Amino acid sequence: MTQSQTQRFSFSLEATDGKARSGRISTPRGEIRTPAFMPVGTAATVKAMMPESVAATGADILLGNTYHLMLRPTAERIAALGGLHKFMNWDKPILTDSGGFQVMSLAGLRKLSEEGVRFASHVDGSKHMLSPERSMEIQKLLGSDIVMAFDECPALPATEAEVAKSMQLSMRWAQRSRDAFGDRPGHALFGIQQGGVTQDLRAQSAEALRAIEFDGYAVGGLAVGEGQEAMFGVLDYAPDMLPVQKPRYLMGVGKPDDIVGAVKRGIDMMDCVLPSRSGRTAQGWTRRGQVNLRNARHQDDPRPLDADCTCPCCAKYSRAYLHHVFRAKEMIGGMLLTWHNLHYFQELMAGMRAAIASGTFDTWEAAFQIEFASGDI
């Protein structure tokens, strides 16, 4: 074991600036600098990227997915092959979601009960079941470092009564997740706060989770179509309901301006498919906003996407080239632009970590907002 490695999971807060925090999560597989953006590796790959390239963008951790991997190639097969880290050649930390959210958004024939969710695979229609116990078992077989409790994220629109009922089910599932997870030093279990956009339900959920005790706490149930204003409205109070000395993970967020607003309100970790999905659909994200490389305006432009960006795409390739390869449906387009987008998202996090550490977050944020809204890219 090298000097820097630890057998335990721990979070140290290093600086705060207003509600924004910077710190680091120590795990046996390495450290995670916070605030952190976690790229999504749905089917044991961050699409269009080699793992070495994902590491080169500055990512300290990536996401795996219980739902996809239990269906194909199955968690048992990945375990037999040495676990998800070995399987996908990523030796840094992996966080896996618990699967419930993906079941509700992807699977067919879903039947929800107190026990869990029965569903038909979107891959081949085969029948499956997820419960707190089965989700814990799958995440253990995968070998993920940070395990998410099995929860239910209510689909919008939902009445307050439906949100309350769903949140209470998720809290019972949180207890069952905790009980099934057991005592696994070096591995973390995160609880997920639910409660929609209702402050009192959010408070009840936070109280229930604190009583169970988790290694970290996620703010769930957001980024489901409520819009940025409503999401920020919840983030104005929800993170403060969670233990201050534990990591706070906002699930499924988001666009650069969503991310900045969440960090400003006390969030430490986020994940989103946006940078990788956009990279495959010719959408470039930059400090001055979003660029559609399929637009004809780029076809003769010799400049890089962002002259100030140090990624391999901006170092060597022109907008004209990116425009051409996307029009020609060449794979290198998705490879280059995904790399750029992930690099930019990591640069955004590094900028915020430095600003928080030096107490200049407000100045940094003001400059970000002006540049990001400028659109002159």
Ligand X SMILES: CNc1nc2c(CCNCC3CCCCC3)c3nc(N)[nH]c(=O)c3cc2[nH]1
Candidate list 17, 151, 271, 306, residue with the active-site label: 271
Residue number with the smallest Cβ distance to ligand X: 252
Q: Does 130 bind ligand X (CB under 6 A)?
A: no
Of 287 and 340, nearer to Zn ion (C-beta) is: 340
Three-state SS string across the chain, please?
CCCCCCCCCEEEEEEEECCEEEEEEEECCEEEEECEEECECCCCCCCCCCHHHHHHCCCCCEEEEHHHHHHCCCHHHHHHCCCHHHHHCCCCCEEEECCHHHHHHHCEEEEECCCCEEEECCCCCCEEEECHHHHHHHHHHHCCCEEECCCCCCCCCCCHHHHHHHHHHHHHHHHHHHHHHCCCCCCEEEEEECCCCCHHHHHHHHHHHHHHCCCEEEECCCCCCCCHHHHHHHHCCCHHHCCCCCCEEECCCCCHHHHHHHHHCCCCEEECCHHHHHHHCCEEEECCEEEECCCHHHCCCCCCCCCCCCCHHHHHCCHHHHHHHHHCCCHHHHHHHHHHHHHHHHHHHHHHHHHHHCCCHHHHHHHHHHHHHHCCC
Shortest separation between residue 285's beta carbon and Zn ion, angstroms: 10
Of 261 and 275, nearer to Zn ion (C-beta) is: 275
Shortest separation between residue 23's beta carbon and ligand X, angstroms: 22
Contact string (CB under 6 A) for ligand X, positions 318-357, x = contact: ----------------------------------------
Shortest separation between residue 338's beta carbon and ligand X, angstroms: 15
Q: Does 314 bind Zn ion (CB under 5 A)?
A: yes
Q: Is 240 an active-site residue?
A: no
Could you tell me if 144 and 63 are in contact, meaning their C-beta atoms sit under 8 angstroms apart? no
348 binds, among Zn ion, ligand X, none (CB under 5 to 8 A by kind): none
Of 141 and 192, nearer to ligand X (C-beta) is: 192
311 binds, among ligand X, Zn ion, none (CB under 5 to 8 A by kind): Zn ion
Q: Is 306 an active-site residue?
A: no
286 binds, among ligand X, Zn ion, none (CB under 5 to 8 A by kind): none
Q: Does 276 bind ligand X (CB under 6 A)?
A: no
Candidate list 97, 145, 151, 306, residue with the active-site label: 97
189 binds, among ligand X, Zn ion, none (CB under 5 to 8 A by kind): none
153 binds, among Zn ion, ligand X, none (CB under 5 to 8 A by kind): ligand X
131 binds, among ligand X, Zn ion, none (CB under 5 to 8 A by kind): none
Strands 248-250 and 269-271 come out as parallel
Q: Does 148 bind ligand X (CB under 6 A)?
A: yes
With CB under 6 A as the contact rule, the residue among 132, 196, 220, 239 that binds ligand X is 220
123, with CB counted inside 10 A (0-12, 13-18, 19+), is exposed
Q: Does 44 bind Zn ion (CB under 5 A)?
A: no
With CB under 6 A as the contact rule, the residue among 20, 69, 75, 192 that binds ligand X is 192
265, with CB counted inside 10 A (0-12, 13-18, 19+), is buried
Shortest separation between residue 279's beta carbon and Zn ion, angstroms: 11
> Residues interacting with ligand X, by CB under 6 A?
40, 42, 63, 65, 97-98, 100-101, 148, 151, 153, 192, 220-224, 251-252, 271, 273
Q: Which residues are catalytic?
A: 97, 271
> Residues interacting with Zn ion, by CB under 5 A?
309, 311, 313-314, 340
